[in-house]
Amino acid sequence: MLKEIEERRSARSFSDRPVEDEKLINILRAGQWAPSCYNNQPWHFVVLRGEETRRIHDAINRGNSWAKSSYMIIAVVSKRDLDCISNGREYYMFSCGLAVENMLLESYHQGLVAHSILGFNEDLVKERLSIPGEYRVLILLIIGYPGDEEMKDHKRERKNLEEIVNYGGW
């Protein structure tokens, strides 16, 4: 697992090659089988393929315009009362995050690029996809086969374990 976890990256270059339905189903199953509080499974996945992605292109922030060249976009949608709220801690985003990471990893495993973005106009996405008012669009997953160009500037770095791990207490 660790090899694929470390190799996965949020690339920004996509080919226009369609993603096969079988691969899409595997990505959705990876999300479906994520853990969640009391197994509430608070996620909904709205899938746009090919020309359908154009419906929300104008909702994507300018800084993320690379996302418009992908074959597929999956909107991850939820609302707070679909999952546990414990002492003020709202877990719907947490559980959806687990589903999203599963989907990112399965996409990578399938030879695809998958990149999460929060830079979009949520109201516009909801309007275009007829998502009911009380739901939140948490993230758009931008998915497709990798393109030729790759960003030179995207260095993948992480904090050292010493910075983020305390053994035996804070």
Ligand X SMILES: Cc1cc2nc3c(=O)[nH]c(=O)nc-3n(C[C@H](O)[C@H](O)[C@H](O)COP(=O)(O)O)c2cc1C
User: Quick one: tokens of 122?
Assistant: 């949520």
Nearer to ligand X, 3 or 166 (CB): 3
Q: How many CB atoms are closer than 10 A to CB 128?
A: 17
Query: Which is closer to ligand X, CB of 62 or CB of 168?
Result: 62
Nearer to ligand X, 89 or 159 (CB): 159
Q: Which is nearer to ligand X, 159 or 166 (CB)?
A: 159
CA atoms within 13 A on the CB side of 119: 11
Taking the complex as a whole, the smallest distance from the CB of residue 40 to ligand X amounts, in Å, to 20
Q: How many helices (H) and strands (E) does the chain have?
A: 5, 6
What minimum distance in Å lies between the beta carbon of 12 and ligand X?
Answer: 7
Nearer to ligand X, 6 or 20 (CB): 6
Helical H runs in 81-159? 92-109, 122-128
- State in angstroms the smallest separation of the CB of 145 from ligand X: 17
Rounded to a whole number of angstroms, the minimum distance from the CB of residue 33 to ligand X is 20
The helix or strand, by DSSP H or E, that contains position 4, with its residue range, turns out to be helix 2-7
**Contact footprint for ligand X (CB under 6 A):** 9-10, 64, 116-119, 139, 156
Angle at 35 between CA 33 and CA 41, to 5 degrees: 75
Closest CA to 125 of 68, 63, 70, 55: 55
Q: Output the smallest distance, CB 168 to ligand X, in A.
A: 29
> Rounded to 5 degrees, what are φ and ψ at 148?
-80, -40
